[in-house]
Chain A
Amino acid sequence: MASSVASSAKFVLALAVVACAIFFAGRAIGNSYAFFLGYVVVQYIVLGTAWNILGGYTGYVNFGVTAFFAIGAYSTVALYKLMPALPLPLMVLVGGAAAALVGLGTGYLTLRLRGVFFSIATLALAVVVQTLITNWDFVGGARGAYVLRPKMAPLMGGEYVQYLFVIMLVLCVIVLATARAIERSSLGFGFAAIRDDEAAAEAAGVPTLKLKLIATTLSGGFMGMAGAPLPYYVTYLDPTSGFNLNYAVNAIAMPLIGGTSSWLGPVVGAVLVGGLQEVLRVTISSAANVLVAGVLMVVFVIAAPRGIVGLFQGKRK
């Protein structure tokens, strides 16, 4: 027990060092585009890892990523309208909590469904949430809402996008540390048992319903946190951008391409696919984003179903 706590502490420290190195490298470059790009890639690491907790570890494929992501984003819009002076980290916490609650509720309502039926239910959830938000005038409804991004970052100085990037980096450290801790814990073994055979897991004493609720709550909460800073990043949020297909496709494609069995998979997938998409967006067309993720996903599902990380750790298995 003590050794696993020490190992987790070392891991968090290592992640923090890497995060600091990335941030200061961005500052050394001195170009705000580096932070905009970095924000997108790190956001996808958070989103992909959050999806992977339910989809990869537990085997419940969630197609309703945009519902949770947009709940986070729109909770920030709502808070901005109610209390514009509220610090962004608090907005992120509120967005995460709202999405976690929706995750818990979704779990209760849908987790007696399995396989493709669960996936369809999550897809329906995304449609329901989008319809509700499109008709919620307070957060801009169908016409969208503007959020004024401060010019300067609080506390640390520099442009505000640097602050957004740091917040996303902190989220990334939290989400990756959580994912790694899950993998090495009883919870991770329980998730794996559910993924492999739910009836056998129950027979082995695994409280499957409770664990699935933990997975939907954690996964939904982290997705909401990933979405919460979005209004400050885009400065104008409407349902088309908040519920963009890119988020849903990338959140699934990145863990599948990187590998769903380990925390490292979504990181590798997000850096590779996110980076490639950004290069193509700048050099060819922004319309290539979903195409790239879709084609790579098909290739990996057929040729390397355990993803890039699975290819390297697959010797034993």
Chain B
Amino acid sequence: MSPLLHIEKVGKRFGGFVALEGIDLEVKQGERLGLIGPNGSGKSTLVNCICGTLRNETGSVSFDGHKLDGLAAHERTRRGLARSFQLPRPFGSLSLVENVRIPILYTVNARKKGHVPHAGIDARCRDLLGEVGLLAKADRLPKDLTQIEMRKLELARAMAAEPRLLIADEVMAGLSHAEVDEIIALLIRMNGHGVTVIMIEHIMRAVMEVSQRLAVLVAGRKIADGDPKEVVRNPEVVRAYLGE
């Protein structure tokens, strides 16, 4: 069976700085992949290349057997790729329901060739907000949310696009222990609904709990990929995190 996401020799430079170099990575349908690396290792650049926010200069990204190179970010979302942002980026002038409505209107509706009945959209938005525990604030603006609620809104908005692959970019940064547990449970629940998950994270407890496989980037190169317990013991990975 071909992988859901296939990344082949992806490279990206910013001027003279090599952000990514020859990255190969495969993610299988239904898998939970952890992607770790020190700051500046290229994790977010890789996510941006996968999602179309940035264009990779070399290599290619394929999703479900189709090359994504050259496609705009919104077209990739319509094909089933969704992401949350490292820093929450809600639509500030829209209520939570309206935030979640956007991907339904523009992704699910486009995918179903305009056949999403408008009458059911509001109920669907509230269901999604209910799943992440934000139903009580459904008609409020994002400015009224706490940090964890912002993260949950990001996830609800990503899930509203009915993705096959969700990329959660440091969705737990800055959260308390209990809040991290909540997000972990949420990601595992989403995965249980058949959504493949790539989780980029610095909180190792969460990484180890969520990931079935772990890949490590250092200075734009992949240095390890495999079973999480083995990867964290890999001398090269230990050296990258702790130094010589």
- Which residues of A does B touch, CB under 8 Å? 1, 186, 189-190, 192-193, 195-197, 199-209, 261, 316-317
Nearest 8 CB-CB pairs, A to B? A205-B107, A205-B106, A196-B91, A202-B73, A200-B89, A205-B77, A204-B103, A186-B105
Which of B33-41, B78-86, B188-196 is the contact stretch?
A: B78-86
Which residue from A199, A207, A209 sits with its C-beta under 8 Å from B106? A207
**Chain A minimum-CB-distance residue to B108:** A205
Which residue from A1, A197, A207 sits with its C-beta under 8 Å from B74? A207
Query: For the complex, is B186 an interface residue (Cβ under 8 Å from A)?
Result: no
Q: A205-B74, A208-B74 are in contact. Are A200 and B91 (CB under 8 A)?
A: yes
Query: For the complex, is B53 an interface residue (Cβ under 8 Å from A)?
Result: yes
CA distance A215 to B75 in the complex (A): 20
Contact sample, A vs B, 30 pairs, CB 8 Å cutoff: A186-B105, A186-B109, A189-B102, A189-B105, A190-B105, A192-B93, A192-B94, A193-B91, A193-B94, A196-B94, A199-B85, A199-B89, A201-B74, A201-B91, A201-B102, A202-B73, A202-B74, A203-B74, A203-B82, A203-B83, A204-B102, A204-B103, A204-B157, A204-B160, A205-B110, A206-B102, A207-B75, A207-B106, A208-B74, A261-B93
**Chain A minimum-CB-distance residue to B161:** A205
- Which residues of B does A touch, CB under 8 Å? 51-53, 72-75, 77-78, 82-83, 85, 89-94, 98, 101-103, 105-107, 109-110, 118, 139, 141, 157, 160-161
CA distance A86 to B53 in the complex (A): 50
CA distance A196 to B85 in the complex (A): 15
Contact A317 B53 (CB under 8 A): no
**Chain A minimum-CB-distance residue to B53:** A199
Contact A204 B77 (CB under 8 A): yes
Contact B53 A202 (CB under 8 A): yes
Q: A189-B98, A192-B91 are in contact. Are A200 and B85 (CB under 8 A)?
A: yes
Contact A202 B72 (CB under 8 A): yes
Contact A205 B78 (CB under 8 A): yes
CA distance A207 to B74 in the complex (A): 6
Contact A207 B72 (CB under 8 A): yes
Q: How far in angstroms is the closest Cβ of chain A from B6?
A: 21
CA distance A316 to B51 in the complex (A): 35
Q: A186-B109, A192-B94 are in contact. Are A205 and B89 (CB under 8 A)?
A: no
CA distance A1 to B89 in the complex (A): 30
Q: A199-B53, A316-B139 are in contact. Are A204 and B106 (CB under 8 A)?
A: yes
When distances are taken between beta carbons in the complex, the residues of chain A under 8 Å from B74 are: 201-208
When distances are taken between beta carbons in the complex, the residues of chain B under 8 Å from A207 are: 72, 74-75, 106
CA distance A207 to B72 in the complex (A): 8
Contact A203 B94 (CB under 8 A): no
CA distance A197 to B87 in the complex (A): 12
Which residue from B93, B103, B139 sits with its C-beta under 8 Å from A205? B103
Contact B73 A203 (CB under 8 A): yes
When distances are taken between beta carbons in the complex, the residues of chain B under 8 Å from A206 are: 74, 102, 106
Q: How far in angstroms is the closest Cβ of chain A from B103?
A: 4
CA distance A68 to B134 in the complex (A): 45
Q: A203-B77, A203-B82, A206-B102 are in contact. Are A196 and B72 (CB under 8 A)?
A: no
Q: A192-B94, A261-B93 are in contact. Are A205 and B141 (CB under 8 A)?
A: no
CA distance A248 to B103 in the complex (A): 35
When distances are taken between beta carbons in the complex, the residues of chain B under 8 Å from A208 are: 74
Contact A209 B94 (CB under 8 A): no
**Chain A minimum-CB-distance residue to B142:** A196
CA distance A201 to B85 in the complex (A): 12
CA distance A166 to B77 in the complex (A): 47
CA distance A200 to B74 in the complex (A): 10
Q: A193-B102, A196-B94 are in contact. Are A203 and B85 (CB under 8 A)?
A: yes
**Quick one: which of A186, A189, A196, A204 has the most chain B CB within 10 A?**
A204
